[in-house]
Structure 1
């Protein structure tokens, strides 16, 4: 007799695979960032094309699935602000951080953002802060301090502060989007956030004179990789996995993202990885798992 366990197992397995693909895709962002630096591509150039091309991929996919729709009124205004201010700030600071630290270290420090999400939710909307939350925040920050202290060649105090600011900006983006757009389809929201962020970097690039249209095929390969492999594909894979696993389990599986970046950085760029660095990263990921596993 079919109890439905087989189909549930298949759905879970597919969900885990999709979220893993998403984490792996997002984990390549820092790697593409390093390649962009080495190719001489400016931050505004990379991010304009990331968000323009990423928007094209996302809108095309939504249209193919019959889910493309324009937001209106206040919802549209909030979505545009989230992209132009929140997500743009996080992305810009992330790439600035790559100028000071290795891709692996940037990934570890950025992954403190779930702890900041919980902290901001407590401050902004009055959610209670229990001992689990305090412990997770202490674990995350201790892990960053441990990883950075063990690998001064791969990090700097300035870089840590920049990427921690990126983590706070990302946490603010998540907190505001949850509170203000709770009933908005996440993929549709993403389709509006990406072009809004593109406009921000278009303005920044034009104002600073740092915006350029690449000519070399290798430059275009980097930009398409950032937009497709590190943006559009992981976005769709994550939400598809989320539908099958739920938020908590999807969040836990996503913690493979920093280790993937660390591994790729070591493999492709010979970025230093020590036992203490690994231990620090493990504390950060442990904090995320603790938050995702805690009730409430």
Structure 2
């Protein structure tokens, strides 16, 4: 590897770590918004209102470039509606369940539950696509969810039913996002990640806004200055900026290294939750977090190696 290539790789890792760190602020900012009496749907609505213009603009220029490269239209009405529906599932349902779950559980526990979504992706593949799960992957799965069980048991003693409700909501968010990942892949391969994300985010944003106005008046969007600062932070620092930092990192070092680097978000969330929100971090939390991280990283690495082995096998001459 040349010095230039090595420097590019290091820069790509740093960009990925920075993007993951920005993503990690989401739970903290939502918790701070709850302290300001801003509920989950209002925070999610402001997040989309502020972020949508960025995604629409980037999507427009991305579409023009892709059309020029492909010498023809990329999207039919049917494919556009399909991508929009997938976006509503991935970004509306998953985000809403996640935001609602944060009302009941700590930012740390929320982040650790969401971290397990790649396991759901593989399990969906095993159930519907006949993919085999190796025994080591099953062990890693149990280690991850064993870690969650350790934290769940400890928090259940303190917070009771809130831990059950919040944990179930965020687990639903992780499952929704995993389904989104599975459904999104063929469309991303065809039209590109940037254009797909822009369409999906726009569709999800419109559904979020419609949801808000079904149960609220327009005047309910009016918030005090401190709360509005948090809304802008959730939309920019926790949404738009990290989304494109992660895209840049994927372009520089690839999706697998970026995904592994993304695990730093959990450590950042824990640090911010303890220092800013004053959340507890006991030996039980440390042990549970370590088990989740070890299990998820091991699981994703084994899944990557299995995919690479399958790809090599397909390329071998018969």
TM-score normalized with structure 2 length = 0.85
CA contact (8 A) 1:33 1:95 kept: yes
Counterpart in the other structure of 2:36: 39
Q: Aligned residue for 1:251?
A: 259
Taking structure 1 as reference, are residues 105 and 132 closer, same or farther at Cα in structure 2, changes over 3 Å only?
A: same
Pairing of 1:5-44 with structure 2 (within 5 A): 5-44=2-41
For structure 1, which runs of at least 5 residues remain unmatched after alignment?
Answer: none
Report the counterpart of residue 103 of structure 1 in structure 2.
107
Q: How do 1:150-169 and structure 2 match up within 5 A?
A: 150-152=154-156, 153=158, 156-169=163-176
Task: Name the counterpart of 1:178.
Answer: 185
Q: Distance in 2 between matches of 1:197 and 1:59?
A: 12
For residues 210 and 118 of structure 1, do their structure 2 counterparts lie closer, same or farther at Cα, with a shift above 3 Å needed?
A: farther
1:270 paired to 2:242? no
Matches within 5 A, 1:1-296: 5-61=2-58, 67=65, 71-152=75-156, 153=158, 156-209=163-216, 212-294=220-302, 295=305, 296=307
Larger CA deviation: 151-160 vs 75-84: 151-160
Equivalent residue pairs, number: 293
Q: Deviations over 1:96-128 (max 9, x none)?
A: 111111111111111111111111122232222
Cα displacement (A) at 1:147: 1.8
Kindly indicate which of the two structures has a greater share of residues assigned to helix: 2
Output one character per residue of 1:195-215: Cα deviation in whole Å (capped at 9) or x when no partner.
211222222212222762234
Q: How big is the shift at 1:276?
A: 1.9
Could you tell me how far apart the structure 2 residues matched to 1:96 and 1:133 are? 31
Secondary structure in structure 2 of the residue aligned to 1:40:
coil
Any idea what the Cα deviations from partners look like across 1:146-175, whole Å, max 9, x if unmatched? 122233436712211111111111111111
Counterparts of 2:101 and 2:91, CA distance in 1: 15
Does the aligned pair in 2 maintain the 1:42–1:210 contact within 8 Å? Answer: no
SS at match of 2:182: helix
Distance 2:191 2:287 in 1: 38
User: Are 2:89 and 2:177, in contact at CA under 8 Å, matched by a contact in 1?
Assistant: no
Cα drift, residue 71 of structure 1: 4.3
Q: Would you say the 8 A contact 1:52–1:194 is kept in 2? A: no
Give me the whole-angstrom Cα distance separating, in 1, the residues matched to 2:251 and 2:136.
26
**TM value normalised by structure 1:** 0.91
State the 4+ residue runs in structure 1 displaced beyond 4 angstroms.
61-71
